Copies of this chain bind each other. A is one copy, B any other.
Amino acid sequence: MSSAARPSNSTGTSARKRGRPRHEEPSEEYETKLREVVSVASEVFRLRGYDAGTLDDVAAAMNLRKASLYYYVKSKADLLRMIFDRAIDRSLEQIEEYLAIEDPRDRLEALIRHQALTVAKDPALFAVFFDHRAGLKADDMADITAKERRYLRYFIEAAEDAMDADVLPKADSRMVAATLIGMSSWVYKWMDPGRDDPVVFAELCVQLLLPRRQ
């Protein structure tokens, strides 16, 4: 029961397999449990910080002992890396679709709504992503910042087009983009899933920045 296949890696949705497992792709239980480890760890690191949050904390929250976590993760640093990968993947998901929008106002609106929704739906994940970057190893940090720079560039371009179309006041586009991202990301600091609705928040951001003419 506890010897599920755990080969090097892969992220796809592996189809149910027949016959003897080939021990080359992770089993479904393994993948599911790994996802849970990542979720639980993001809660622990959000509450206690990356260094203060121990692997015993993570394990205890899953009714395990620390040593058992090493079946799922290579090291604590590896666990942190997986949290960051998940966050950046969520941010980049569906983004192509929004970039294809022609109208500058609609495109900027879609990007802001996307960022607000993505962060508001998983505040613990993004709390670690935004606040505990210092825990990353240099290599992992480089991977993340590269993807993030690309993400920022989308916002800069959308801001520039919006300014040209007189939808936003003219200003330094890098600063504007960072500020729009900040406004829609800060939600992880106060979001209470039992009280606040991600969709309501996302629409609020859009309304505040791009009010419909009355």
Enumerate chain A interface residues (CB-CB to B < 8 A). 47-52, 130-132, 134-135, 168-169, 171-172, 175-176, 178-183, 185-187, 189-190, 196, 200-201, 204-205, 207-209, 211
Across the interface, which residues of B come within 8 angstroms of A130, CB to CB? 131, 189
B183 touches A179 (CB 8 A): yes
A135 touches B49 (CB 8 A): yes
Decide yes or no: A176 and B49 within 8 Å by CB, A130-B189, A182-B182, A187-B182 being known contacts.
no
Which of these, B134, B172, B186, B209, contacts A181 with CB under 8 Å? B186
Going nearest first, the 5 A-B pairs with the smallest beta carbon separation are: A182-B186, A51-B51, A183-B183, A131-B131, A49-B134
B186 touches A179 (CB 8 A): yes
